[in-house]
Structure 1
Amino acid sequence: MIEGIIVKGVGGFYYVKTDEDIIECRARGIFREENLTPLIGDRVLIRISSEDNTGYIEKILPRKTQMIRPPVANVTQVIIVMSIKKPNINPWLLDKFIVMAEREKLNILICINKLDLDSDKGQELIDMYKDIGYKVIGTSAKTELGIDELRESLNNNISVFAGPSGVGKSSLLNSINKDFELKTGDVSSKTRRGKHTTRHVELLEFDKTAYVLDTPGFGSLYLNFIEDEIELRDYFIEIKRYGVGCRFISCLHENEPDCSVKKQVELGNIHESRYNSYLDFLQEIRKNRRY
């Protein structure tokens, strides 16, 4: 058997990159019986037919990481792309992406794109998330702002570009490497949301030490992967940091007395928008649990 990495999956076919070629494969039925689905980024063992040079995936090697949305494996870095305008930035959705990545213990890079449309507002957001403790890059595919720094961040990583439709993920990837030639689109004038241009997840080889994943955009993200609301505290790093000072170890930072987190919100050490996102997400988790 030959080892390779799944770089694309379309209509039940998986395209596996080996050291020598890309092989079109199907998955063995045993994976369905085990309720296991091959994912883009999976390292697999395949058996190749000598007749038509197609293959079957015989074994999925242990995953180091797994994301739920987009469903990909073995990613080491999430690059969360949001545009400052067209479509307008949604910090609440950005915080949801961050929660998802924190849960998977992935390195997080926030990319605020289309900075040429409103550099002042963009810089405010960059400063805010840097203050929290995240690495943030301001970019513009149009002016090439920040592209070199973004390109450098890909070294020695398997990076997934995640974010809503229309924020410019494919344009950024094209700016990073002209050979990618990914299709790009505009924002719908009716919905003010982006139009989907990437139709499936695809793993692109940047160089011998770096892969990037271009993924379809989406406008909604649900927290149904969190079963207990107490988990959520750990996925807001500033709330986790200040939460150790709360009177009660089980404090959820809502109405409890002597809550250090609420005090830090009042003092301005925790941004109010982040605290509001946390409270909104608590309610969503509780609602999901009821159903």
Structure 2
Amino acid sequence: MAKYDIKLPYVIEKIDCATQKPIGATVSREVSKNYGLVTDSLPLGIDGKAALVVRFDNSYSAMFRHMQRFLVSSIEIVVILILILYFLIYTIFYQKRVSEQLKNMSHEMRNPIAFLQRVLDSLPDAQRRSRLVKVGEFKITLANLMLDKLLTIKKARIDIHPEEFSVRQLLDNVMMQYELMLEPTGKIKLEYETTQELITADKLCFLNAIVNLVDNAIKYSSGAPDIFVRCFTAGDYLCVSVTDHGVGIPKKYLKRIFRREFRIPKGKTVRCTGFGIGLSYIKMIAKAHKGKITVSSIYKKGSTFTLSIPKNR
């Protein structure tokens, strides 16, 4: 038994060859009855009347004890295979996501370039040319802001450079550009409900956040965009809210939309391109300014995003 590494519990019985009944055993008869796996009888060769048999414990515990090494090794191999499979699946989905992002990125970057090309190709009368040039300049600004957003998301942190500037002037300029862009069917309206003119913040980041919110409002409008922008104060915060009458956001996704690379599954909203990083980027801007970004939405009715920045730093 030891030579062949057989460690199962066993008893040896002496049996009567004629009746096959036990005559004696290495343990009590009561115990030997629990040992169900029996070898062939081995005649003793003395008088032909007696033989030996070996009974093994056939309980699951005994078998598992004997197979423990093999079971542990098998489990380890299975775990390793599962981890490898998980890594392969994760890699495939990650590459697919990166591919989709690159595709969306090229589409997003192509928009301002295509617009500028149309401007160069048309060049109408002086007054119209002046307006188109202003929109073209704004499109270039948007392209630069998009690059800044991508670089910031890649670093997973944002560096701000606060300066004092006029919020009203910045918002008026943004509204003017979008009014030109949305002509003739869409519209955008700004209401300034505060006497607060100046704020100390990172001007570029603030502009980028507002532009992202307005772009999203336009993108997710179910028909001709009808955007309402409101600037107001709430306690120690200067707030800018952007409201649309678009597809809205299902309630179960409201707590997840600010996560990096999260996008609402297709079919829940209109099909739009994007990276899934815009709202997470706005959240980074708000957090860097010790502010906040909040959302209220009714599915298929519209959404309101509110950026709140401390009035004084």
Same-fold status (TM-score > 0.5): no
Structure showing greater radius of gyration is 2
User: What TM-score do you get using the length of structure 2 for normalisation?
Assistant: 0.22
TM-score, structure 1 normalization: 0.23
